[in-house]
Chain A
């Protein structure tokens, strides 16, 4: 190894990435170590303070570890994308679904916004979210919609009751979550505020799942089972993950 140039060492490590076909758990560990070695050889490290060096290093690492390793995949993705998921996630820097759930390029059409809220269908407002839903559901034909929640609903819970706002845009946006806040206050108002916030985070996912169903193209595809809805909650304090689904129920008829 000492006689190899840096380029030869990197090429050798890349070949290991391609041919590594042991069982899933071991391969993932090995893959992580190999990628780390390649990054060190390239002289790139995470959390580099200089912004331009940081993103240059990140791009080089991606090109070396992913793009060059799977050329056929990326050439197919260059022609078109067929993601199975539409994912709604928070902007929070700590909760990228690509990091936590290992979404690869081409898997998930991912919309990220503050507090991860999905407003109800409205042709005059909220066209940003609506555009994402319309594009993913109608044009990309995604099969699963996944709302991925994390902590950070603080501002919603702290909104003044008198309707005054400190922030022009944040407060207007998080008000979408007011029904969730009302439900939490009604059921868990006796709990400390911190615990109410945790309940509200989960309730906000359910509210967003409900709001999703107000979009006509979402309803239509759910009705013919072409689209399924899932909610998820990542607690980065405890390091745990919860996942649940939306089900429709047809009860047996009541006969007289």
Chain B
């Protein structure tokens, strides 16, 4: 904790709240979505100015909605938001009803309050509107499905994908609620059994043994920052960063890539490694005895996938288990049913 920052001096009063309190920061009471929704909900995609008031808004509406021809709707929303901020007197009225001491405290730091409005209120409003829209257009329209899902889930897929904001499996492969048990981590890696417990293999254990999924799909993608970090690591230097520690799981992929792509430039090598790392994860999956057993019995199929968001293409392949022995020694993976969608 920084002792120079006044924001972290010892808290002399702990508020009693429904949930846990912490000496560092206190969770506020939960904000339940109520019927009191603002009439002009701001669009999240247009409404997130930088936390530094002196900087211009970071997110550009043009990017959120594509071509400049689509600016119309977004600009209107953004303008509605700014008008709301300027004319919103509700906060001041509410403050004046509070104890005099508190009112004084609030009024003495208006810029900080405006900052909170810009980043707190609009965020809450945006999330609320999105949830209500989901509830109205999806949940209520498919009530029977959601009531069934409320009792249990029986997904056919377990998906291991990268946490990258551009590669959500629900978006790019259209998985609906109940279809895919999804683990997302940096660079979509599956550590081998001998590495010991981690959040990824905890998910694997649950999906395979409890949910009994029939398919595991490991999806890599283009321009992966985690793979880039793996390829950028120095050979003989131990890394102190958590990113380095984690992506080292893919070291075999890096070694094979460097051997196979000596004449290619760094970007091309990274692309090769992105796919090689998926295969490395497929091999690591088979190091789990309960996974290998199910694959051998035909109860579980293991697939690799690669999403290229530069060209919008998806490549998929299936592990050919019979041909893959011995796994790990040669490191080669036999595949079948390769498909390329674009």
Interface residues of A (CB under 8 A from B): 18, 21, 24-25, 27-29, 32, 44, 46-47, 49, 51-52, 54-63, 66-74, 76-78, 81-85, 91-96, 98-114, 117, 123, 126-136, 139, 143-144, 167-170, 172-174, 180, 183, 202-203, 206-207, 209-210, 213, 219-220, 222-226, 228-233, 236-237, 239-254
Partner of A91, one of B24, B181, B197: B181
Q: Is the interface of B mostly helix, strand, loop or mixed?
A: mixed
Q: Is the Cβ of B182 less than 8 Å from the Cβ of A132?
A: no
List, in ascending order, chain A residues with CB within 8 A of B310's CB: 78
Determine how close the nearest CB of chain B comes to the CB of A145; give it in whole angstroms: 12
> Nearest residue in A to B153 (C-beta to C-beta)?
A93
Q: When chains A and B are docked, how far (Å) is the Cα of A102 from the Cα of B189?
A: 26
Q: When chains A and B are docked, how far (Å) is the Cα of A65 from the Cα of B156?
A: 24
Known contacts A47-B179, A225-B51, A236-B149, A108 near B165 by CB under 8 Å: yes
State whether the Cβ of B101 lies closer than 8 Å to any Cβ in chain A.
Answer: yes
List, in ascending order, chain A residues with CB within 8 A of B15's CB: 249
Q: When chains A and B are docked, how far (Å) is the Cα of A55 from the Cα of B174?
A: 7
Q: Is the Cβ of A96 less than 8 Å from the Cβ of B19?
A: no
List, in ascending order, chain A residues with CB within 8 A of B178's CB: 47, 93-94
Q: Is the Cβ of B11 less than 8 Å from the Cβ of A169?
A: no
> Number of residues in B with C-beta < 8 Å to the partner?
131
Q: Is the Cβ of A46 less than 8 Å from the Cβ of B171?
A: no
List, in ascending order, chain A residues with CB within 8 A of B120's CB: 228, 245
Q: Is the Cβ of B153 less than 8 Å from the Cβ of A59?
A: no
Q: Is the Cβ of A72 less than 8 Å from the Cβ of B166?
A: no
| 8 closest A-B pairs by CB | A58-B174, A70-B66, A130-B242, A131-B246, A173-B202, A172-B197, A83-B165, A93-B155
List, in ascending order, chain A residues with CB within 8 A of B184's CB: 110-113
Q: Is the Cβ of A72 less than 8 Å from the Cβ of B30?
A: no
Q: Using a CB-CB cutoff of 8 Å, which residues 304-326 of chain B contact chain A?
A: 305, 309-310, 312, 314, 316
What are 29 A-B pairs with beta-carbon distances under 8 A? A51-B156, A51-B214, A52-B316, A72-B62, A72-B66, A73-B66, A77-B166, A84-B59, A93-B155, A93-B175, A94-B177, A102-B133, A102-B134, A105-B167, A112-B184, A113-B199, A114-B206, A117-B199, A127-B246, A128-B186, A128-B198, A134-B243, A135-B163, A169-B197, A219-B1, A224-B5, A226-B51, A242-B31, A243-B128
> Nearest residue in B to A32 (C-beta to C-beta)?
B137
Q: When chains A and B are docked, how far (Å) is the Cα of A170 from the Cα of B67?
A: 46
Q: Is the Cβ of A130 less than 8 Å from the Cβ of B246?
A: yes
Determine how close the nearest CB of chain B comes to the CB of A138; give it in whole angstroms: 9
Q: When chains A and B are docked, how far (Å) is the Cα of A82 from the Cα of B229?
A: 18
Question: Which of the segments B41-49, B251-259, B265-273, B275-283 contacts the partner chain?
Answer: B41-49
Q: Which of A77, A82, A228 has the most CB of B within 10 A?
A: A77
Q: Is the Cβ of B197 less than 8 Å from the Cβ of A168?
A: yes
Known contacts A59-B173, A92-B153, A170-B202, A202 near B19 by CB under 8 Å: yes
List, in ascending order, chain B residues with CB within 8 A of A252's CB: 101, 105
Interface string of B104-147 (1 = CB under 8 A from A): 01000000000100011001100111110111111100000010
